[in-house]
Amino acid sequence: MNTNVAMQQYRQNHIQGGIEAASPHRLVQMLMEGALEKILAAKGFMAQQEVAKKGEQISWAISIIDSLRSCLNVDVGGDFAQNLFDLYNYMERRLLEANIANDSSMLDEVGQLIIEIKSGWDAIPAEYHHNSAQPA
């Protein structure tokens, strides 16, 4: 087994173990971190003019944001959840536009929005984490 394959398997096992042990609150954090990683990777591929790899990373980021949106419960979260739902829709549209226009500033915009949402999520006190399976 070559080193790259071994490292990839180790990383996959490490990630899988982290997911299985994570609280619902931590899972949402991990999704946000994953979206940020994909956006950063897409930006790098955009700069290198690696069109297919850029598109793949943006597609992953959109999929992650879609997963975050699917966790929302507008009936329970009210206007806050609806606003977050709408913001996730906006971010997905901007990522699509960034891909088509090859515009890294749109990637930066979405990344900054995720960072702002994540900072609020990260600030939730630990005693409320058990109720955070749905981000709104």
107, pLDDT greater than 90:
yes
- Percent of the chain past pLDDT 70, that is, above it, reads 79
**Residue 60 CB contacts under 8 Å (≥ 6 apart), including other chains:** 34, 38
Q: pLDDT tens digits, residue range 37-73? A: 999 999 999 999 999 999 999 999 999 999 999 989 9
Q: What is the pLDDT of residue 38?
A: 98
Largest CA distance in the chain: 53
102, pLDDT greater than 90:
yes
Which phi-psi region, left, alpha or beta, contains residue 78 (left: φ > 0; alpha: ψ -120 to 50)? left
105, pLDDT greater than 80:
yes
pTM of the model: 0.79
The angle, 0 to 180 degrees and rounded to 10, between the axes of the packed helices 24-47 and 74-101 is 10
Q: b/e string for 76-106 if b means 16 or more Cβ within 10 A? A: ebeeebeebbebbeebbebbeebbeeeebeb
In the chain the domains, ranked by start, together with CATH numbers, are 24-125 (1.20.120.340)
